[in-house]
Structure 1
């Protein structure tokens, strides 16, 4: 009888103890509210070439997950929105990852695209462009049974494989002569660059006349406005025919620096206005602000850009399109293109291969010379 009473008391104490320890509230995080998404500005189209497969196409950035423990993010790509056969771009503990041209070329192969200008798709269009899809995945929670996977909204991007244009040996440069060409005038000192069926030249245009010549110092070889018009060319509206005498091209546009392009295949003559470079980074006055604080590097003469501003210890790189992030004009790009770069600038060694300013902080004039292939600070 004493043993029975002792057991009842023991059970009662256990129950009493448990009732005290269970009074603490339990908090459960709302994992379903967690979201991640890409935050970088994607290019409208990614131009790809097998010759540049080792280059960086872009850097994708996303927001960090907040709830619970996250060890890794994985970026995936696919040729369909359902991600039937996803390709892993990479895994990172950071909230950004570098995407290589070679990785996009894997998707090109899956889509069956090619660089042959003679091939077309089922609709008769060139078979060198398509769309692919990207997403980023993460795990949130406590790392145990409460952990769940979250996936970002799918982002679609356009990719285009650069077609291989057959090399032509019949293309010869043209001489461009006339008072519309600033610092040239009626002298045979400026020629176009011949690239297969395309003739192009960077010139500073002012209101005046000019025409093309197929041979140096041979006035009988002139090709005027009426010649191209008679061949069925579509000519930029900033040109008109002189209408008398030699029927020269008469430039009536806004004076400035332009790229003049004569395409004998498309039968077009067009003008592409000069564009600035933009210096962005903590070594520049605007820092990493790309919404108005960036520094413009202006084209002061054909293929020469320059600007004067204060340099601070830090890194930066150039951009060709204002407000659009890319790494196409970093230190490595110019070095690989054969440029001689000022010793006050170095490669920062990061994946973005930024310019690193290592000189004495102060105001300098930076000059990018695409003719001599130099970048100087004075």
Structure 2
């Protein structure tokens, strides 16, 4: 059953002589014999105290009186005032970390002190803090019976002489009121529970928040202890203005800011709860040895719109890189956190990201979690009724790889055919299909859909790891192919250079081109016939696309060999 720690205003405030973990009060004065005869502490009629915590379903006894301690008056050799204090400590500790309960701001001459169950509980929690501070082998056992030493300290004002009463023992079963070393946050404001990372009393993590409620929970969850808005507010915490008291039955926090990613920081040292909005850059670029370390030639990431960015890249042994938000300068560069592999920090200098074997990788940068991941994507296969009626992975068809992270294949399909993708043809590891909620997007979770076409035909099938796009488009495979483009002023006539069919459905040509020349392919050299012209897909570079295509462009002068493969749907350029 969930427990919430409530604050009881009826509990009389205690000022503990050793309240701060940094100031453990150890009796500074030794008693002096002739000046003072100490008080005599009476044993109360009840010496066992079980403190009941207030929870969602239980009314606790924190505000109830537990015991009235009384003592006989002390006597002194002069006319100075005599002041009394009650001290408590765990038995066996000899009052090394005693909690002192003042009877007034500077002591009192009264001979009795009533204590509530809540005050006893607070005292036991402070004793626990003090024991930890001195690294004692002793400890307070919460939710168990603890034998406690109690005495009265007597101070003679004029001579500052000190005496102590005889010790009496009482037994207290307290509950823990401090913050756990492990804390999570849960509630409707979050899509899932989030553990906070504790660094010397500063609890922090990045969370996705919506306008709703949450509170903090001690872990492990079996403790059923939680900390609500009132818990922190009553303890003097400064709470971010975007977090307000929900004033519901559980006194939850209510988040009132913009939905999105936030850094939540609970600092028990400065007693603050702060929210810092996560602001991802508008753009991101990959810069490194594979780009010549020049911002102008850095590779652009794909912005997924949820503070994550993806890019596919070919790496060779020894390649190193980092991330920049603009391709005009090094300002704002992100590198790997040397103390947290897989995390990024917004700093210049070393270390660069590197050490990966040569291969093709999908690189994902997540500004919600400030992390990056590397996924090797060297191959992709098509599996389904078109490869084997039994869907056997070993019969899966290998796809072409025309550009980084892009795979393609051309196949005759029937409306009854179904298929999906496999990164290996050994087994079903990593298979994925279409997202049931986002058509034409890849998805490897529960409920993924097989991919189908509406009618029989020949189709170009492609998948782009960078954009997560699945593209299935119809095509008519030509019997001959011609090159048309800016190198001839886009004159589509009998002068169009003709490809050579070097293998079944594979066409090749060698052509001199200038920097920034653009071109595409046509199936006829009859003047002006642009029907069913072919170039590359607009979002998956160098994948064959018929109609609705994008021109292909070269960036440097040279003589190029252009290969168009109507078996795997790829376009290849080499100099």
TM-score between the two structures when normalised by the length of structure 1: 0.39
Larger Cα-atom Rg: 2
Larger relative contact order, structure 1 or 2 (CA cutoff 8 Å, min sep 6): 1
Greater strand proportion: 2
Greater helix proportion: 1
TM-score between the two structures when normalised by the length of structure 2: 0.27
